[in-house]
């Protein structure tokens, strides 16, 4: 049996996916450095990606951070075409016995004071109950998305048939209406396995003793207010919600020598459009070509994290983030001569790039992003206006929020083929990088960045809320 030091501990369980792992690790670091905790950090080794291994390997030594790799679950019976919600749901369910054993080994030896899970980890609430631990949910997305998730069980009961067949938008009390086309995929087919898993988790959110959410008041005020004040949420009943964000990855100076950062060094200030679709996003073959033409014709400098196209699913790389593709194959899916014609103006990086360091670099002036919540926060904190290009999950709900906040522009899809055409890409690239609108968006990101700093520093509301929860855990209240 392993013994723990006498510091209070929290246990954190991450579900597969870099977008879950990264902010939970940041939470762990904060609990260790600011609140005197040690953290037992449980990660899945099933579907673990190259990006995950590299991230865990590169973590600085911290005596307070104990990474516990759960043994791989048997997933041989899960068909390769199963949707992401089902795969994550099954992996998490099957890892529960190992989590329980591991926690009982640690738990009886030391003062574990709380269990924190992300949005797909609610099965672990049963284990928290067994051990008498307070159970907390960490929402890795916005308060707007959290409000939608908490309200989904009510919508499920009130609605017969598919949500897609409802004529108008989905109305969540006190929140901005959600267009049907922007719903996450699992919810678009109520007969699917993915929907059952999704609903299973969201139905359990009300059991949490508290919900930490990676956002802050100035960014998400409308939904946070709705969560606090609307009767519909009081009746659920909604656990206390703690907006403790933004928790984003810190810039690592050790990465300075990476090729794309050296390239950025040579570019003029705010001249480069960074193009990336998160840890798992892929475009269709037609879209990759059109994007390449649009970037070229815009005559803007660009740094593009390119992935092999996938004509079937936009989340193709979700479970294999950061896998090394053969750079020689780029020519197979980019327009003929593209790399030569854009030499010096653009840089193409296959698969994966140090995103936070790129966004923080003074040469970066815009971000064409899939609107994953971590990418969104990283862009805002580093004052980079966005081109909002959502692909899957809740990204289509994040995009309109960013447009409403006037920090992003959303390209218009071509009629019929669902591809954004090169002229439209050229238009939005110029708008963000050159136009007065781009400057206005930049000014708005600065305001939000300033409010992000205020909330996170001593005395700020996010800082105080995390202090409050941390002291409740320590005092067992």
The residues carrying an active-site annotation are 20, 118
Q: Give the residue, chosen from 9, 14, 16, 19, that forms a contact with ligand UDP under the rule CB under 6 A.
A: 19
> Distances from the Cα of 193 to the Cαs of 44, 159, 477, in angstroms?
21, 18, 38
* Contact call for residue 89 and ligand UDP (CB under 6 A): no
* Contact call for residue 280 and ligand UDP (CB under 6 A): yes
The CB-of-251 to ligand UDP minimum distance in angstroms stands at: 11
The CB-of-371 to ligand UDP minimum distance in angstroms stands at: 8
* Contact call for residue 375 and ligand UDP (CB under 6 A): yes
The CB-of-355 to ligand UDP minimum distance in angstroms stands at: 3
The CB-of-19 to ligand UDP minimum distance in angstroms stands at: 2
The CB-of-211 to ligand UDP minimum distance in angstroms stands at: 18
- For 418, other C-beta atoms within 10 Å of its C-beta total 10
CB 141 within 8 A of CB 394: yes
Residue 205 CA to residue 201 CA, distance in Å, equals 7
* Contact call for residue 215 and ligand UDP (CB under 6 A): no
| 75 burial level (CB within 10 Å; 0-12, 13-18, 19+) | middle
Strand ranges for 173-271 from DSSP E: 210-213, 241-243
Q: Give the residue, chosen from 282, 363, 374, 455, that forms a contact with ligand UDP under the rule CB under 6 A.
A: 374
DSSP code of residue 117: E
Binding mask 247-266 toward ligand UDP (x if CB under 6 A, else -) reads --x-----------------
Sheet containing strand 135-139, strands side by side: 65-70, 38-44, 9-13, 112-117, 135-139, 210-213, 241-243
Question: Among 214-222, 230-238, 277-285, 399-407, which window interacts with ligand UDP (CB under 6 A)?
Answer: 277-285
* Contact call for residue 372 and ligand UDP (CB under 6 A): yes
Q: Give the residue, chosen from 15, 214, 279, 363, that forms a contact with ligand UDP under the rule CB under 6 A.
A: 279
CB 277 within 8 A of CB 319: no
Question: Among 220-228, 352-360, 413-421, 462-470, which window interacts with ligand UDP (CB under 6 A)?
Answer: 352-360
Q: Give the residue, chosen from 11, 13, 14, 18, that forms a contact with ligand UDP under the rule CB under 6 A.
A: 18
Residue 309 CA to residue 292 CA, distance in Å, equals 12
* Contact call for residue 144 and ligand UDP (CB under 6 A): no
For ligand UDP, give the closer residue by CB, 226 or 359: 359
Binding mask 290-319 toward ligand UDP (x if CB under 6 A, else -) reads ---------------x--------------
* Token pair for 171: 């109305």
Per-residue burial over 1-12, b = 16 or more CB atoms within 10 Å of its CB, e = otherwise: eeebeebbbbbb
* Token pair for 167: 């004529």
- For 189, other C-beta atoms within 10 Å of its C-beta total 14
Contacts with ligand UDP, residue ranges (CB under 6 A): 17-19, 22, 249, 276, 278-280, 305, 352-353, 355-356, 372-375, 378
């Amino acid at each position: 049996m392993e013994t723990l030091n006498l510091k209070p501990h929290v246990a954190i369980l991450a579900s597969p996916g870099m977008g879950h792992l990264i902010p939970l690790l940041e939470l762990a670091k904060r609990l260790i450095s600011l609140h005197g905790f040690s953290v037992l950090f449980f990660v899945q080794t099933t579907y673990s990606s190259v990006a995950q291994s590299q991230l865990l390997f590169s973590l600085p030594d911290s005596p307070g951070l104990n990474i516990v790799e759960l043994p791989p679950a048997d997933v041989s019976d899960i068909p390769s075409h199963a949707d992401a919600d089902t795969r994550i749901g099954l992996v998490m369910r099957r890892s529960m016995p190992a989590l329980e054993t591991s926690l009982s080994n640690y738990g009886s030896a030391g003062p574990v004071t709380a269990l924190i899970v992300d949005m797909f980890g609610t099965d672990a609430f049963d284990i928290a109950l067994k051990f008498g631990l307070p159970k907390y949910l960490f929402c890795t997305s916005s308060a707007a998305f959290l409000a939608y998730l908490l309200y989904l069980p009510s919508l499920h009961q009130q609605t017969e048939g598919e949500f897609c067949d409802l004529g108008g938008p989905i109305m969540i009390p006190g929140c901005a209406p959600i267009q049907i086309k922007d719903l996450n995929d699992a919810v678009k087919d109520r007969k699917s396995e993915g929907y059952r898993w999704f609903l299973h988790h969201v139905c359990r959110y009300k059991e949490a003793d508290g919900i930490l959410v990676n956002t802050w008041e100035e960014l998400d005020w409308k939904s946070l207010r709705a969560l606090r004040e609307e009767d519909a949420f009081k009746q659920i009943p909604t656990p206390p919600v703690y907006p403790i964000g933004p928790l984003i990855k810190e810039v690592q100076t050790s990465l300075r020598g990476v090729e794309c950062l050296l390239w950025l060094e040579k570019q003029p200030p705010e001249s480069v459009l960074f193009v990336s679709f998160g840890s798992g996003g892929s475009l269709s073959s037609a879209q990759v070509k059109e994007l390449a033409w649009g970037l070229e014709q815009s005559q803007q400098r660009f740094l593009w994290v390119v992935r092999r196209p996938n004509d079937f699913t936009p989340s193709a790389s979700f479970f294999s983030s950061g896998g090394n593709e053969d750079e020689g194959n780029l020519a197979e899916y980019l327009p003929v001569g593209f790399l030569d014609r854009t030499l010096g103006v653009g840089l193409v990086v296959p698969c994966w790039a140090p995103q936070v360091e790129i966004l923080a670099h003074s040469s970066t002036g815009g971000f064409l992003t899939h609107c994953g919540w971590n990418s969104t926060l990283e862009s805002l904190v580093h004052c980079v206006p966005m081109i909002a290009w959502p692909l899957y999950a809740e990204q289509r709900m994040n995009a309109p929020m960013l447009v409403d906040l006037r920090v992003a522009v959303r390209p218009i899809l071509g009629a019929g083929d669902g591809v954004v055409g090169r002229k439209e890409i050229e238009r939005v690239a110029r708008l963000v990088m050159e136009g007065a609108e781009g400057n206005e968006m930049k000014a708005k990101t600065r305001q939000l960045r300033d409010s992000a700093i205020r909330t996170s520093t001593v005395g700020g509301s996010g800082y105080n809320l995390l202090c409050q929860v941390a002291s409740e855990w320590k005092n067992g209240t």
